[in-house]
Amino acid sequence: MLRLASDENFNGDIVRGLLLRVPMIMTFHDYRLEAVYLAVGATQREEIIHFWREQRAVLNPTEAERRSREVVFRVRDGAGELVGLSTVGLKRLPDEDRPYYACRMFLRSQDRTPYLMRAVTYATWDFLRNFDHPQGRRAGMLIVTENPKLMRPGIRRYLERYGCRYRGRNRKGLDVWVAEFHKSTDSLARLTSLEAPTADIGQMLAEIEAGRC
């Protein structure tokens, strides 16, 4: 069983008021992915917490408040309505002394359209690998397959094909994967960069579809 340890050296007060120098907005069909990591204000946090409560996704008020400060991407539909979020905590693997981002994601049920989940995951990975965290760079991103359907053999082969490393299962029996930042897998690296604030993810669909699972 794989136990993930929180990075206790992280102090949220250090990054209070920090703003992204380059706002990044990406599009995926009719969806907008807005990068807001460490730049979420009080009004935005209220919207996020209300969204989780309405969707019965994060009901614990303390956890909702903490995770609202960890949002990387907000996902909005064509009408501008909030439909999903990716968040990251700071974790360490038990046998490594390197800090990682631990990624979690939630999409509203009616917006779990084909490939949107993958697009948000890749966008989060690509944004974070370029991000200068106030307490230093992270080694990569941990992906926890909270949906049991993502533990099927086809998904595992897909993750391996795109350079992810399997690390075992956590206390809840869910698979844990590592997507390291030093590996420049084409399908991940082509997504976008901070030098290109607006990008169209639609062009990546052909690559993703080539790896059907």
> Using one digit for the tens of pLDDT, what is the confidence trace for 62-85?
999 999 999 999 999 999 999 999
Question: Is the pTM here over 0.85, yes or no?
Answer: no
For residue 132, count CB atoms less than 10 angstroms from its CB and return exposed for 0-12, middle for 13-18, buried for 19 or more: exposed
The rounded distance, in Å, linking the Cα atoms of 53 and 67 is 13
Q: Residue 41: pLDDT band by 50, 70, 90 thresholds? A: very high
- Report in angstroms the alpha-carbon separations of 93 from 1, 6, 57, 134: 12, 9, 26, 21
On the question of pLDDT at 202 being above 60, the answer is no
Domains defined along the chain, listed by start? 16-209 (3.40.630.30)
Q: Residue 19: pLDDT band by 50, 70, 90 thresholds? A: very low
89, two tokens: 């905590």
Q: pLDDT tens digits for 161-195? A: 878 889 888 888 888 889 998 765 444 444 333 23
Name the DSSP class of 7. Answer: -
pLDDT of residue 8: 44
Q: pLDDT tens digits for 85-117? A: 999 999 998 888 889 999 999 999 999 887 888
Nearest-Å Rg of the Cα atoms of the chain is 16
Helix (H) or strand (E) holding 34: strand 31-35
- Report in angstroms the alpha-carbon separations of 96 from 4, 99, 142, 160, 210: 10, 8, 13, 20, 34
82, two tokens: 């909030």
* Residue matched to tokens 């944004």: 127
On the question of pLDDT at 197 being above 70, the answer is no
The rounded distance, in Å, linking the Cα atoms of 151 and 153 is 7
Q: What is the mean pLDDT of residues 38-65?
A: 95
Q: Residue 47: pLDDT band by 50, 70, 90 thresholds? A: very high
More confident residue, 144 or 207: 144
Tell me how far apart the terminal alpha carbons of the chain are, to the nearest angstrom: 26
